[in-house]
């Protein structure tokens, strides 16, 4: 579950204001909004706390996750509940998250989306669009770059350099990054607290679009 409704609303509002077109196939957008051919050998410098993260061992390249556009298996931020059901091939189960909002889940809880729920009936309002797509363990799909749940946060830091904010914690006496909010694309990556410590691996991904 997302930790704070206020955080998601702020981020979603920022994402909703972005109407930039997607980049041509094979290109990625940098932090300045330019569409460029990715350099497979280039790595972004790590911010403080990044060197303490585990080495980047990527998942096999896949097409389930589109981090640039905020999509999972074709279901994207700004899709309606009906659209996501159709694209994922199953009906999501929903529950009231807070007054005026509801969250729905698919794939046994591995995929979540948040929606407005003005009448507080636990069902997304008709035609309302998802303002966040969230991936949780044990989701095993990956992006074309081998990113997904379970990889080191270092992998995301190597690929995306438009960092808005970083949260760190002391792990084994070292400062280690445990959460990153990227501006472009708009997403959070989180390392959940597991059995007394952070392990440096992505526990869940929050996507809000390009």
Tokens representing 84? Answer: 């996501």
Residues 6+ apart with CB under 8 A from 14: 186, 208
63: left (phi over 0), alpha (psi -120 to 50) or beta: alpha
Q: Considering the entire predicted model, what is its pTM?
A: 0.75
Residue pLDDT tens, the chain, 210 long: 443 333 333 333 333 333 445 678 777 665 456 677 766 666 667 788 888 899 999 999 889 999 988 999 999 999 999 999 999 999 999 887 677 788 899 999 999 998 888 777 778 877 888 888 999 988 889 998 899 999 999 999 888 878 888 888 888 888 888 899 988 788 999 998 766 678 889 999 999 877
Degrees (nearest 5) of the Cα angle 19, 139, 1? 70
Confidence (pLDDT) at 189: 93
Tokens representing 124? Answer: 């997304």
Confidence (pLDDT) at 7: 34
Confidence (pLDDT) at 16: 39
Confidence (pLDDT) at 33: 63
Give the dihedral sign, CA 160/158/130/114: negative
């Amino acid at each position: 579950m997302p930790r704070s409704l206020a955080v998601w609303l702020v981020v979603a509002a920022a994402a909703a204001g972005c109407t930039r077109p997607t980049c041509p196939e094979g290109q990625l957008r940098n932090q300045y909004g330019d569409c460029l051919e990715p350099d497979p050998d280039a790595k972004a410098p790590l911010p403080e706390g990044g060197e303490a993260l585990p080495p980047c061992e990527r998942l096999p390249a896949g097409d389930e996750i589109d981090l640039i556009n905020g999509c999972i298996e074709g279901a994207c931020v700004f899709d309606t509940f009906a659209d996501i059901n159709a694209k994922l091939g199953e009906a999501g189960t929903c529950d009231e998250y807070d007054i005026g909002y509801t969250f729905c889940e698919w794939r046994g809880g591995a995929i979540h989306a948040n929606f407005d729920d003005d009448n507080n009936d636990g069902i997304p309002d008709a035609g309302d669009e998802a303002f966040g797509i969230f991936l949780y363990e044990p989701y095993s799909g990956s992006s074309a770059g081998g990113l997904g749940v379970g990889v080191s946060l270092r992998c995301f830091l190597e690929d995306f350099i438009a960092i808005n904010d970083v949260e760190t914690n002391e792990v084994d006496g070292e400062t280690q990054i445990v959460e990153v909010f990227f501006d472009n694309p708009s997403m959070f990556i989180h390392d959940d607290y597991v059995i007394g410590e952070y392990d440096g691996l992505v526990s869940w991904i929050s996507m809000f679009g390009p």
